[in-house]
C-alpha cells in the first residue's frame, strides 16, 4: 500500500518511522511519502492560508498549493507498479481529516485497508478551501473523516491514528494473522463488546492474584468468564453498544448477566436501562 501525506508540519509525521508502521515500511509493505505543502507555494513567505470569505475567526488554507500538490502526487502514480501496465491510470483515494467528517470506525479502517493508495490532506487553521475537495471529488473517492467528538489543532494527529489502524490490517503486518480477529470492534467479534482484562506472570504481584478461573485450564469456563467480563466492561464504559446490541446473538447467560447489570429487554427487542425517575 502507498500512503502520501501533504502537510505544513512534515516533522509531525515522524512517528510513522517507528513501531508497527515503521517496520511495515522497512519491510516494503508500506510505501509512505510525506510532503511539505509549502513546496508548492511560489511567494517569498510560502503562504498557505488567507482570511475567510464572509468573515469570521481564523484562517482558511488557500486552494492553489493544495491543487498543485495533489495534481503532482496523482500524476506520480502513472507508470508505477500497480497501475496494471495496461494504460489504466492508478488513482488514489483522498482522505481529508476534519472534525466535520464521518466518524472513523473499524469498518472504515477495513475499507481503507483494501485500497492500494491513500493520499492524506490534513489541514491546519479552519480548514481547506472547499473548492479543493469538490474538485478532487470529481476524480477521486474522497473520505472526510473525524476521529472523535473533540477538536484538534490540525489533522496530522488524525493521520497518525488512521494510518496505524489501517496498517495493522494489511496482510503480513501483524505477526499473527489471527491477531485482529477478536479486536474490540472487529466486525463479527464478540457481538461488538469491548475486550475484558488480561493478565500475565507473575501469578502474585503486590498481594494481587489472578482470577482463579484463568489458572483452571478449563477452556469452556475461561471463555464464559471472558465473555462476562466483556459484558461488564461494555455495560460500564459503552452502554451505547449494549443498547445497539442484537438480542438474537445473546445466550441465556448473557441475558442473566445483563439483567444483573440493570438492563432490561424492551418491547422493541433491544436493551435499555431504566434511568432514574425524573422529579416533577
Tell me the catalytic residues.
Answer: 99, 126, 168, 183
Q: Are 179 and 121 in contact (CB under 8 A)?
A: no
How near is the Cβ of 27 to ligand 6GU at its closest, in Å?
28
As a whole number of angstroms, the distance between CA 236 and CA 250 comes to: 18
Residue with cell 478532487: 136
> Closer CB to ligand 6GU, residue 70 or residue 121?
121
In sequence order, the 6+-apart residues with CB closer than 8 A to the CB of 71 are: none
And the C-alpha cell for 262?
A: 440493570
Helices 156-167 + 106-113 axis angle, to 10: 70
- E-assigned strand segments in 87-223: 93-103, 117-120, 142-146
Residue number, 98 or 235, with CB nearest to ligand 6GU: 98
Closest contact distance (angstroms) between CB of 61 and ligand 6GU is 12
264-265 vs 142-146, strand pairing mode: unpaired
Of 6 and 242, nearer to ligand 6GU (C-beta) is 6
Name the minimum Å distance from CB 64 to ligand 6GU.
Answer: 22
What ranges in the chain are assigned the alpha helix state H? 19-26, 63-75, 106-113, 130-137, 156-167, 219-237, 239-244, 252-260
DSSP 128: B
Q: Which is nearer to ligand 6GU, 128 or 147 (CB)?
A: 147
**C-beta of 100 vs 200, nearer to ligand 6GU:** 100
Give, rounded to a whole angstrom, the gap between the first and last alpha carbons of the chain. Answer: 59
In the three-class reduction of DSSP (H, G, I as helix; E, B as strand; rest coil), residue 271 is classed as: strand
Signed CA dihedral, 244, 247, 250, 252: sign only:
positive
Q: What's the min distance (Å) between Cβ of 141 and ligand 6GU? A: 17
Rank residues 92 and 97 by Cβ distance to ligand 6GU and give the closer one.
97
Q: Find the angle CA(150)-CA(151)-CA(154) to the nearest 5 degrees.
A: 140
Q: How far is the CB of 8 from ligand 6GU (least distance, A)?
A: 13
The residue of the chain with the least Cβ separation from ligand 6GU equals 97
Instruction: State in angstroms the smallest separation of the CB of 80 from ligand 6GU.
Output: 28
Give me the residues that bind ligand 6GU (CB under 6 A), please: 97-99, 145-148, 150-152, 154-155, 158
Amino acid at each position: 500500500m502507498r500512503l502520501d501525506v501533504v502537510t505544513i508540519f512534515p516533522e509531525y509525521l515522524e512517528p510513522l518511522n517507528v513501531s508497527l508502521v515503521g517496520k511495515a515500511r522497512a519491510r516494503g509493505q508500506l510505501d509512505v511519502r510525506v510532503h511539505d505543502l509549502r513546496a508548492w507555494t511560489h511567494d517569498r513567505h510560502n503562504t498557505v492560508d488567507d482570511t475567510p470569505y464572509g468573515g469570521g475567526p481564523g484562517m482558511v488554507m488557500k486552494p492553489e498549493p493544495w491543487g498543485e500538490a495533489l495534481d503532482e502526487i496523482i500524476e506520480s502514480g502513472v507508470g508505477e507498479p500497480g497501475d496494471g501496465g495496461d494504460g489504466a491510470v492508478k488513482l488514489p483515494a483522498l482522505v481529508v481529516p476534519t472534525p466535520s467528517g464521518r466518524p472513523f470506525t473499524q469498518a472504515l479502517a477495513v475499507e481503507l485497508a483494501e485500497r492500494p493508495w491513500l493520499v492524506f490532506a490534513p489541514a491546519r487553521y479552519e480548514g481547506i478551501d472547499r473548492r479543493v475537495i469538490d474538485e478532487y471529488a470529481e476524480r477521486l473517492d474522497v473520505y472526510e473523516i473525524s476521529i472523535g467528538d473533540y477538536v484538534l489543532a490540525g489533522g496530522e494527529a488524525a493521520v497518525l491514528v488512521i494510518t496505524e489502524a489501517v496498517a495493522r490490517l494489511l496482510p503480513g503486518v501483524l505477526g499473527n494473522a489471527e491477531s485482529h480477529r477478536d479486536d474490540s470492534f472487529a466486525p463479527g467479534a464478540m457481538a461488538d463488546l469491548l475486550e475484558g482484562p488480561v493478565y500475565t506472570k507473575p501469578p502474585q504481584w503486590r498481594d494481587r492474584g489472578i482470577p482463579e478461573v484463568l489458572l483452571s485450564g478449563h477452556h469452556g469456563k475461561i471463555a464464559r468468564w471472558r465473555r462476562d467480563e466483556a459484558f461488564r466492561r461494555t455495560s460500564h464504559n459503552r452502554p451505547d453498544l449494549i443498547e445497539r446490541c442484537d438480542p438474537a446473538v445473546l445466550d441465556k447467560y448473557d441475558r442473566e448477566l445483563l439483567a444483573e447489570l440493570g438492563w432490561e429487554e424492551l418491547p422493541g427487542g433491544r436493551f435499555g436501562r431504566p434511568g432514574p425517575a425524573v422529579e416533577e
